[in-house]
Amino acid sequence: MARSSQQSRTTEKVLDVKTRIAQSHYGLLGLSPTASPLEIRQRYRELSKQFHPDTTVLPEAEATAKFQRLNEAYGILSSPERRSLYDLQIGFSRYSVIQPSQNEQGERGYSNSAYLDPTDRPLSAGEIFALFIMGLTFVGCVLLAIALGVSRQNLNLEGLF
């Protein structure tokens, strides 16, 4: 009997946390609290296009209210410090989620940060093209400098003799 009451209390706690999360900023974005910053950003962009007062079919007052709540949620969840404080307020602990062991983290050779470094992502086609154009410009400038140096050196030598 004691075991079933303990299980029911545990079940109630889990349901309470799930209810709080569903009514939280995570629920508004349709994400779990373990979502990465990249997932949060992508979901925010999708929903902001859907609920923006200028682009939605909803009544303007309703769209404005939803869009403001969406902006508030993204403002909190996009900042690591504010997100941690918010997680504590709703009763979510990142440490209760199964974490990889320290040995696995060390083998990969990089930190297990959920917040991406801009250098961790691949370059887009536009960025590669821009780098190619900058490289061509640099090579052109070097060749021009060499050509000018050679031509000026020839002029100086002709004037000396």
Q: Where are the domains of the chain?
A: 1-96, 124-161
Give residue-wise pLDDT tens across range 71-104: 898 888 888 888 888 888 877 766 554 445 444 4
Total H helices, total E strands in the chain: 7, 0
According to CATH, what is the number of the domain 1-96?
1.10.287.110
Give residue-wise pLDDT tens across range 140-155: 999 999 999 888 887 6
The overall average pLDDT reported for the chain is: 76
Q: Which residue has the higher pLDDT, 13 or 138?
A: 138
In this prediction, residue 131 has a pLDDT band, given cuts at 50, 70 and 90, of very high
**Rounded mean pLDDT of 95-120?**
51
Would you list the DSSP string of 88-155? HHHT--GGGS----HHHHHHHTS---SS--GGGSPPPHHHHHHHHHHHHHHHHHHHHHHHHHHHHHHH
Q: Which of 69, 33, 73, 34 is nearest to 51 (CA)?
A: 69
Residue 105 has a pLDDT of 46
Residue 11 CB contacts under 8 Å (≥ 6 apart), including other chains: none
Residue 104 has a pLDDT of 46
Q: Is the pLDDT of residue 139 over 90?
A: yes
Q: Is the pLDDT of residue 49 over 50?
A: yes
Residue 2 has a pLDDT of 54
